[in-house]
Amino acid sequence: MSSPLSVGLIGAGWIGSFHAETLASRLPNTRLAAVADPVPGAAERFSGVRAYRDPLQLIADPDVQAVAICSPATSHADLVVAAAQAGKHVFCEKPMALTLDDADRAIEAARTAGVALQVGFNRRFATDFAAMRARIDAGEIGTPQLLRSLTRDPGISAEVAARVKPWTIFNETLIHDFDTLCWLNPGARVTEVYAQADALVHPQFAEQGFLDTSVVQIRFDNGAFAVAEASFHAVYGYDIRGEVFGSGGVLLAGRAPEDAGKLNTELFAAAYTAQFAHFADCVLAGSEPSVTGADARIALEIALAARESIETTAPVALNGVLA
Ligand SMILES: NC(=O)c1ccc[n+]([C@@H]2O[C@H](COP(=O)([O-])OP(=O)(O)OC[C@H]3O[C@@H](n4cnc5c(N)ncnc54)[C@H](O)[C@@H]3O)[C@@H](O)[C@H]2O)c1
């Protein structure tokens, strides 16, 4: 067996801490070598690994073969570029970028450097979602005609809502659903996006651009209609579901609300682990990960169209988006 992949993790917050444990102890083919976080003490919490404040120092660490970027979204594209230019393989949490120019820069940097670039669309690694895609590929339900994907987060306090950046519901929450819907309708292209959204949970922050509830309609060029739906406040727990209705049947993924886990790290623990197992396998074998920078760009393009649709209160046509 080859040596485990030596990974440096950037951003030791909520999801970064969970991913750090995965890389350190849940997988046989990864090793957590270093952690970087600008907040004093944050990286030092992890024993037996080098701690940095500056992510660029972690990227320059010669013992780091790959980086896992788990810092806030605004930092992602620059860190992907810096890591790729240093010859490091990259796992980047979603969203990979917040503008299409930044997405292109990140994709190009990885391509030029010849490093792997995988984005954190963990839902693809959940066994029920993966089984759904495999059955679609096998032709079990014919041509997809109606697709649904929903994300309901388990609650948001007023204190946190006050700090949420505008458009987070599209850029960071529904981006998962946009990726899922494209992935479950293989080969189809998105032609139109129409979004409605409001602040139903914390209406007092609507004026500053806060949105906590949304429905987004997506039209594909194979005729399929899709709906992505999100709420930041499901009082019963974290609720993620998907459905594809086709010419020959229907497939479902996700659990009934009464079975939903309280946190994403409970519901998707196995999927988060499987995505890093896949990343390490690909890097060690020299193959391309199944979730690419190009996939992240497509999901971002839908997120940006959803924003435009809210601003114009009209559907937005998309040309050339490959799903
Ligand atoms: N795939 C998923 O299911 C999932 C779940 C949660 C979060 N995320 C994504 O992960 C990212 C982080 O989210 P979070 O909830 O863990 O945020 P968080 O605020 O809990 O953690 C972010 C951490 O990054 C650090 N940081 C800030 N700027 C940095 C920089 N320039 N370089 C390095 N570190 C920096 C902060 O000090 C903090 O410790 C977001 O993009 C989010 O969308 C994905």
Q: CA–CA separation, 203 vs 213, rounded Å? A: 11
16 lines ligand 1 (CB under 6 A): yes
Residue 262 Cα to ligand 1 middle (Å) = 20
Tens-digit pLDDT profile for residues 285-315? 999 999 999 999 999 999 999 999 999 999 9
Q: What is the amino acid identity at position 17?
A: S
Tens-digit pLDDT profile for residues 173-214? 999 999 999 999 999 999 999 999 999 999 999 999 999 999
The pLDDT of residue 149 is above 80:
yes
Looking at the chain, the domain(s) classified CATH 3.30.360.10 span 123-265+298-322
Atom of ligand 1 nearest to the CA of 15: 16
Tens-digit pLDDT profile for residues 42-67? 999 999 999 999 999 999 999 999 99
Q: What angle do CA 243, 244, 250 make, to 5 degrees?
A: 100
68 lines ligand 1 (CB under 6 A): no
Kindly tell me the sign of the dihedral angle through the C-alpha atoms of 219, 264, 8, 274.
negative
Kindly tell me the sign of the dihedral angle through the C-alpha atoms of 9, 12, 15, 18.
positive
CATH number assigned to the domain covering 5-115: 3.40.50.720
Between 299 and 267, residue with greater pLDDT: 299
Nearest alpha carbon, ligand 1 atom 7: 15
Task: Write down the pLDDT at residue 115.
Answer: 98
Atom of ligand 1 nearest to the CA of 16: 16
Query: Would you tell me the crossing angle of helices 269-285 and 14-21 to the nearest 10 degrees?
Result: 60
**Domain 123-265+298-322 falls under CATH 3.50.50.60:** no
Looking at the chain, the domain(s) classified CATH 3.40.50.720 span 5-115
Q: Which of 9, 14, 300 to mutate to test the pocket of ligand 1 (most atoms within 8 A of CB)?
A: 14
The pLDDT of residue 136 is above 90:
yes
